[in-house]
Structure 1
Amino acid sequence: MRGLKAYIWPAVEDGDHLRAAQLRIIGVTALTIVVFGGLAGALNFIANFERFALQAWLGLVTPLCVGGLPALARSRLSLRTTGLVTVGFLYLVLAGQAASMGGMAYPIVIYLPGLPILAAFLIGPRAGLGLGLLISATMGSLFVFRQWVPTPADWDINYYLLGWITVSLILLTLAASVVCAIFAHQMAAAGAALDEARRRSDAANDAKTAFLANISHEIRTPMNAMLGMAQALQQEDLDDGQRDKVETMTRSGDVLLRLVNEVLDMARIEAGRLEIVPQPFRLTDTVAMLEGLFAGQALEKGLDFSVRLSGESERVFIGDPVRIGQILANLTANAIKFTKQGHVQISLHADVPDETGQTRLTLSVEDSGIGIAAEDAATLFQPFAQAGSAEMRAYGGTGLGLAICRQLCELMDGDITLDSAPGEGSVFTAHIRVAIATGDAATATRPASGTDLSPLQPLRVLAADDNPTNRLVLRALLDSLVGTLCLVENGQEALDLLEAEHFDLVLLDSRMPVMDGIAAAQAIRKGEAETGKPPLPVYALTANVMPEQVAEYEAAGMTGVLAKPIARDALIATLLKHANDEPADRDTPPARFLAE
Structure 2
Amino acid sequence: MTKYGLRARVYTLTILPTLLIGVLLATYFIYNRNQQLQHFAIQQGIDAIEPLAIASEFGLARNSRERVKEVININRRKQSTQIHSIAVFTANNQLFVTGSYHRSLGLLQVPAGKPLPTSTQVIEKPDYIIVRAPIWADSEDSFSRYTSGQPELLGYIALRLDKERAILLQFRDTTIAIFIVCLGIILSMLFAYQLVRNATRPIAKMVEVVDSIRQGRLDTRLPNDEYPGELEMLKTGINAMAKSLAEYHEEMHQSIEQATSDLRETLEQIEIQNIDLDMAKREAQQAAKVKSEFLANMSHELRTPLNGVLGFARQLQKTPLNTEQRDFLQTIENSATNLLSIINDILDFSKLEAGQLNLERIAFHLVDTTEEVVTLLAHSASGKNLELVLDVAPDVPTGIYGDPLRYQQVLTNLIGNALKFTSQGYVVIYVNARKQVANTPFILEVTIQDSGIGIAQEQQEQLFQAFRQADASISRHYGGTGLGLVITRKLVQQMGGDIQLESTPGQGSSFTFTIECEVADIALGDPLPMEKLSQQTLFVYEPMSATRLSLEHTAQRLGFRLVSFDSSSVMLNELCHIRGNKPNVLLGMTAEQSTQELLEEVQRFSQLTDNLLIAVVAHDSESIRQLIYAGATHCLVKPLQYRKLAAQLVDHTPLKESQLPLLDPHPMPSHYPIRILAVDDNPANLKLIATILAHRVTAVDCCQSGQQALEQLQQHHYDLILMDIQMPGMDGIQTTAAIREHYPDFSTPIVAVTAHASAGDRQRLLNEKLDDYLSKPVDEDELIAVIHRCCPTVIGSIHQPVERLSPPTETTKEESSNHDGYDWKLALKRSANKPDLAKEMLQMLKASALQLPDEIEKALNGQMEEAQLRQVIHKFHGGVAYTGARALEKLTEQLETALLQGQPIADIEPELFELIDACQALATISETVPTPSTN
Shared fold (TM-score, shorter chain, > 0.5): yes
**In 1: Cα distance, 2:702 partner to 2:329 partner:** 26
**In 1: Cα distance, 2:494 partner to 2:345 partner:** 16
2:655 corresponds to 1:572? no
AA aligned opposite 1:191: N
**In 2: Cα distance, 1:266 partner to 1:578 partner:** 39
Pick from 713, 722, 745 the counterpart of residue 506 of structure 1: 722
Q: TM-score, normalised by structure 1?
A: 0.56
AA aligned opposite 2:471: G
AA aligned opposite 2:270: M
**In 1: Cα distance, 2:328 partner to 2:728 partner:** 39
CA contact (8 A) 2:455 2:470 kept: yes
What are the equivalent positions in structure 2 for 1:285-304 lying under 5 Å apart?
285-304=368-387
2:407 corresponds to 1:324? yes
CA contact (8 A) 1:213 1:546 kept: no
Corresponding position of 2:348: 265
AA aligned opposite 1:280: A
CA contact (8 A) 2:772 2:786 kept: no
Corresponding position of 1:349: 432
Corresponding position of 1:209: 292
AA aligned opposite 1:506: L
Q: Deviations over 1:94-136 (max 9, x none)?
A: xxxxxxxx9xx785669xxxxxxxxxxxxxxxxxxxxxxxxxx
1:384 Cα offset (Å): 1.7
CA contact (8 A) 1:301 1:340 kept: yes
1:272 Cα offset (Å): 0.9
Pick from 675, 678, 686 the counterpart of residue 458 of structure 1: 675
Indicate how the Cα distance of structure 1 residues 403 and 467 shifts in structure 2: closer, same or farther if over 3 A, else same: farther
**In 1: Cα distance, 2:511 partner to 2:691 partner:** 43
Indicate how the Cα distance of structure 1 residues 428 and 505 shifts in structure 2: closer, same or farther if over 3 A, else same: same
SS in structure 2 opposite 1:430? strand
AA aligned opposite 1:201: A
**In 2: Cα distance, 1:342 partner to 1:484 partner:** 52
Pick from 695, 720, 731 the counterpart of residue 523 of structure 1: 731
CA contact (8 A) 1:460 1:482 kept: no
Corresponding position of 1:416: 499
Pick from 418, 432, 448 the counterpart of residue 335 of structure 1: 418
**In 2: Cα distance, 1:230 partner to 1:484 partner:** 32
1:406 Cα offset (Å): 0.3
CA contact (8 A) 1:372 1:426 kept: yes
Corresponding position of 1:537: 750
Pick from 428, 431, 434 the counterpart of residue 511 of structure 2: 428
AA aligned opposite 1:505: I
What are the equivalent positions in structure 2 for 1:95-244 lying under 5 Å apart?
164=247, 167-222=250-305
Indicate how the Cα distance of structure 1 residues 426 and 507 shifts in structure 2: closer, same or farther if over 3 A, else same: farther
Deviates more, 1:355-364 or 1:380-389: 355-364
**In 1: Cα distance, 2:783 partner to 2:768 partner:** 25
1:523 Cα offset (Å): 3.3
CA contact (8 A) 1:462 1:506 kept: yes
CA contact (8 A) 2:410 2:491 kept: yes
Indicate how the Cα distance of structure 1 residues 499 and 281 shifts in structure 2: closer, same or farther if over 3 A, else same: closer
**In 2: Cα distance, 1:457 partner to 1:174 partner:** 88
Q: In terms of Rg, which structure is larger?
A: 2
CA contact (8 A) 1:463 1:485 kept: no
AA aligned opposite 2:470: A
1:372 Cα offset (Å): 2.0
Point out the structure with the larger helix share.
1
**In 2: Cα distance, 1:316 partner to 1:272 partner:** 28
SS in structure 1 opposite 2:275? helix
Indicate how the Cα distance of structure 1 residues 204 and 577 shifts in structure 2: closer, same or farther if over 3 A, else same: farther
1:316 Cα offset (Å): 1.8
2:393 corresponds to 1:310? yes
Question: Unpaired segments of 5 or more residues in structure 1?
Answer: 1-101, 111-138, 144-155, 509-516, 581-591
Deviates more, 1:556-565 or 1:430-439: 556-565
1:256 Cα offset (Å): 4.7
Indicate how the Cα distance of structure 1 residues 486 and 524 shifts in structure 2: closer, same or farther if over 3 A, else same: same
Q: Percent identity?
A: 27
**In 2: Cα distance, 1:399 partner to 1:529 partner:** 46
AA aligned opposite 2:359: I
**In 2: Cα distance, 1:265 partner to 1:424 partner:** 31
**In 2: Cα distance, 1:411 partner to 1:481 partner:** 44
AA aligned opposite 2:366: L
Indicate how the Cα distance of structure 1 residues 109 and 436 shifts in structure 2: closer, same or farther if over 3 A, else same: same
**In 1: Cα distance, 2:306 partner to 2:415 partner:** 24
What are the equivalent positions in structure 2 for 1:352-367 lying under 5 Å apart?
352-356=435-439, 358-367=441-450
Q: Deviations over 1:200-247 (max 9, x none)?
A: 22111111111122222233444555666789999x999999999999
Which is bigger in relative contact order (C-alpha 8 A, separation at least 6)? 1
Q: Deviations over 1:522-580 (max 9, x none)?
A: 734467789997799352456x6554554676799976545798667862365239989
**In 2: Cα distance, 1:480 partner to 1:465 partner:** 22
Corresponding position of 2:473: 390
Indicate how the Cα distance of structure 1 residues 163 and 391 shifts in structure 2: closer, same or farther if over 3 A, else same: closer
Q: TM-score, normalised by structure 2?
A: 0.37
CA contact (8 A) 1:318 1:435 kept: yes
SS in structure 1 opposite 2:478? coil
**In 2: Cα distance, 1:575 partner to 1:527 partner:** 19
